[in-house]
Amino acid sequence: MMNEKFMKNNLEQKEGGGEKEMNFEQIARENFGIWNKALLSKDPEMVASLYSDDNTFLPTLSPDFKSGKEGAKEYFEHFLEKNPEGEIVQDKVQVLSDSAYLHSGMYNFTVGKDQREVVEARFSYVWRKNDDGQWQIIHHHSSVRPK
C-alpha cells in the first residue's frame, strides 16, 4: 500500500512551489531530496512509490536487474536495512522534454548500523511527470565507483 500522506506532500510541494518558474536543476535536487527522505523513512513501499510501474532499475549493491514497483520494493527491503543516507557530490541535469529529465552524477552513501562507512557511487535517474503531475523515476542506474 502506498503511503498516501508522503505522496500528497510530494504533490503539494511540486504544485505549490511554482514549478513553472523553477529550473530543472532545482526540480532534480528537490526530487533527490524527496527520494533520500524516503530512504530515511526505512519504508520500502514509500521508496518504491517514487518509481513508475514501468521503471527499470540497476541497483547499487545488487547484481540483479529490477523492474516495476515490486522490483524496486524488493531491492529496498534489503538496502534499507543498511540505514543508507545519500549525498550528491557532483551532478548534471539534462532536460529531455517538459515532462522528463536525466539526472546523473556521483553520490556518496553512508551505510551501516553501528559502524558507518561511505560507499562512493555513480548514478543516473530518468524522472518523468505522470498524468497526475507527480514526478516518478522511470529509470535508475547506480553502481559503486571504480577505484
Q: Is residue 1's pLDDT more than 50? A: no
Residue with cell 514526478: 135
DSSP 8-state secondary structure symbol assigned to residue 146: P
How high is the mean pLDDT of the chain? 88
CATH number of 4-144: 3.10.450.50
Paired strand residues for 92? 104
Whether residue 108 contacts residue 23, with contact meaning beta carbons closer than 8 Å, is answered with no
Residue with cell 524516503: 38
pTM reported for the whole predicted model? 0.83
What is the arithmetic mean of pLDDT over 25-42?
97
- Which candidate, 118, 119, 138, 120, places its Cα nearest to that of 128? 138
pLDDT in tens, 129-142: 999 999 999 999 99
pLDDT in tens, 79-123: 999 999 999 999 999 999 999 999 999 999 999 988 899 999 999
How does residue 8 score in pLDDT terms, banded at 50, 70 and 90? very low
Whether residue 77 contacts residue 62, with contact meaning beta carbons closer than 8 Å, is answered with no
Backbone angles phi, psi at 62, to 5 degrees: -145, 140
Which amino acid type is present at position 78?
A: H
What is the arithmetic mean of pLDDT over 25-43?
97
